[in-house]
Amino acid sequence: MYPLVEINGEKLRHNVKQIVSKCKEAGITSIFGVVKVLAGYQDAINDLISGGITHIADSRIENLKNISTKLKKVLLRIPMESEVHDVVKYCDISLNSELETIKKLNHAARINRVIHDIIVMFDLGDLREGIWYTSDYINFIAQIIELPNIRLVGIGTNLTCYGSVIPTQENLSILVRIKEEIERTFNIKLTYISGGNSSSLPLVYRKQLPKGINNLRIGEAFFLGRETAYGKNLIDCYQDVFILKAQIVELKRKPSFPIGERGFDAFGQVVQYEDKGMMDRAILAIGKQDVYPENLEPLDKRVKILGASSDHLIVDCTDTDYKVGDIMDFKLSYGGLLQVMTSKYVNKVYLHNITTP
């Protein structure tokens, strides 16, 4: 039943293998496979695992709790105080930046009789999570070291998420210097020096990752075959692992400009329309409840998306031979992938073993 998203497991595994092998050449010894966009979809997670990731990482406990794997599980989002018991129970490692929360994790870990591993996040300028890199982090770390049920296993940074800051040799070298200072001051060894996400891959491919960075947390590049610093395709990867398919329910020749007095569209927006004369307009049975139209790209270059309401997607298919009942294919942005994987209204079809050219 449509709409459905078709997932090519073989292409996914290929992407993971290529990126993992490039990372290994660049000195990366562990790779967190970031699966939050999959909403816990186990078949795809299994292919990430066979592709060579070393840890499963997600922002949400609900997903981590349900994923079945022998690999260690990593919570990416800074934990809520209200979830610390679940964090120590269902995750092996969590990323942290707040001392009060880390103390609560310590308490929860003691009650659950576990040692909980944490990676402390440093903000190098992107202004999402992490302690500011010029703050008194030595004092911060000293207080963590004293907690008996918490083990500091690494430090990390996140870039190109809020502030669009691109990872460079300069900013990642700051993280390496912080690592050296912490190891020297406390006479400890940090296992993970986590130098970012898919936006760090250009440095990996150019062999410019600073020595000392030994971990990356990769999501989008595996799924969409591109890095996220400049949005360039990775030449050795597939960009069409996920294809969204929707069915045409109406196709008629109509004007392109609405007739009559105009107010707002179905979502309360004032929309500008372009008069392109008569056109062949198809309505597909998919809408904003499934995915926002700006997150879709028709595979057929002749097709143009005109707009959508909650359950209808309208496209211009002038000079094509589509008819009612036909299926149209779309590529998805990362945001679109997140939406369709989360939606219960979009079926998932997993292709395990098909031969790809």
The string over 227-260, giving b where at least 16 C-beta atoms fall within 10 Å of a residue's C-beta and e elsewhere, is bbbeeeebeebbeebbbbbbbbeebeeeeeeeee
List of residues 6+ apart from 50 with CB closer than 8 A? 13
Instruction: Render 281-300 in DSSP notation, one character per residue.
Output: EEEES--TTT--GGGEEESS
Tokens read off for 110: 């003691």
- Is 63 a residue that touches ligand PLP (CB under 6 A)? no
Shortest Å distance, C-beta 258 to ligand PLP: 39
* Set 11, 36, 179, 331: catalytic member: 36
Which of 162, 190, 312, 180 is closest to 251 using CA atoms? 312
Q: Residue from 16, 76, 303, 328 that binds ligand PLP (CB under 6 A)?
A: 76
- Is 218 a residue that touches ligand PLP (CB under 6 A)? yes
Closer of 72 and 288 to ligand PLP (Cβ): 72
Shortest Å distance, C-beta 196 to ligand PLP: 7
Q: Residue from 15, 46, 228, 295 that binds ligand PLP (CB under 6 A)?
A: 228
The string over 7-46, giving b where at least 16 C-beta atoms fall within 10 Å of a residue's C-beta and e elsewhere, is bbbbbbbbbbbbbbebbeebebebbbbbbbbbbbbeebbb
Shortest Å distance, C-beta 190 to ligand PLP: 17
Q: Which of residues 11-40 bind ligand PLP (CB under 6 A)?
A: 34, 36
| 176: amino acid identity, one letter | V
Residue nearest ligand PLP, CB atom distance: 219
| Part in contact with ligand PLP (CB under 6 A); list of ranges 212-220, 244-252, 276-284, 308-316 | 212-220
Shortest Å distance, C-beta 202 to ligand PLP: 12
Is 304 among the catalytic positions? Answer: no
**Footprint of ligand PLP (CB under 6 A):** 34, 36, 59, 76, 95, 158, 197-198, 217-221, 228
Just list the catalytic residues.
36
